[in-house]
Chains A and B, each alone.
Chain A
């Protein structure tokens, strides 16, 4: 490296990187150790929010200090993740509910969709209308 950075910049970047590593490790441990699927859905959010925020801030600080001007383009990754990660989580949660009901798991809540109601409820609905 030809240009030396100031000490405080390097300290900030290093501590943000280590913090993101710890976030990521705890998410992986949660993914391995938690018992049910709906508990295991939560730890990856730790990596996609905390860890990616820390790495993005470290990258912004490092490149801004290296080039002498503000480099904000890494911010795009946070925006992209904050749009796409909830969509994936919703789809996976719905898939897990559907497959759990198909497999006959009675601990899951009943479906809200009228097609899956028992037949006696449907008859009452048609009488009222």
Chain B
């Protein structure tokens, strides 16, 4: 792997980590519950992108399936938490 690609991959991973930390600050501080759910959903999406970039780094397409699973679980958990905030129950 050439230095151009490896440096840009490391830069991307570091910026993703910074973005996740900023969103974590919003999760911990967020004035209302829906702010926390929104920031958790954002952390899920950034984690999925991080795994895709790591898959490019190691030139393996196995990481793609893990990213797909994380995207699915992120959607299910965020939808369940939003439904709970809306109705007080997840399944009625």
Contacts and interface: CB of A to CB of B under 8 A. Distances in A.
A84 B26 CA distance: 22
Interface in B1-41: 1-2, 4-5, 7-9, 11-12, 15-16, 18-20, 22-23, 25-26, 32-35, 37-39, 41
- Interface majority SS (helix, strand, loop, mixed), chain B: helix
Given A32-B25, A66-B59, A92-B78, A44 B45 contact: yes
B91 interface: no
Q: Is the interface on chain B under 10, 10 to 19, 20 to 34, or 35 or more residues?
A: 35 or more
B26 A96 contact: no
Given A24-B16, A74-B64, A31 B23 contact: yes
A92 B8 contact: no
B15 A21 contact: yes
Contacts, number: 160
A88 B68 contact: no
Given A77-B48, A88-B78, A99-B34, A94 B64 contact: no
Q: Is the interface on chain A under 10, 10 to 19, 20 to 34, or 35 or more residues?
A: 35 or more
- Interface majority SS (helix, strand, loop, mixed), chain A: helix
Contact of B86 (A18, A29, A43, A98): A98
Given A80-B75, A92-B78, 15 more contacts: A1-B59, A4-B2, A10-B2, A11-B4, A28-B18, A28-B46, A37-B34, A51-B49, A59-B52, A63-B59, A84-B75, A88-B41, A88-B79, A92-B82, A95-B82
Contacts of B5: 5, 10, 13-14
B22 A28 contact: yes
A103 to B, nearest CB: 9
Given A20-B12, A21-B11, A21-B12, A80 B68 contact: yes
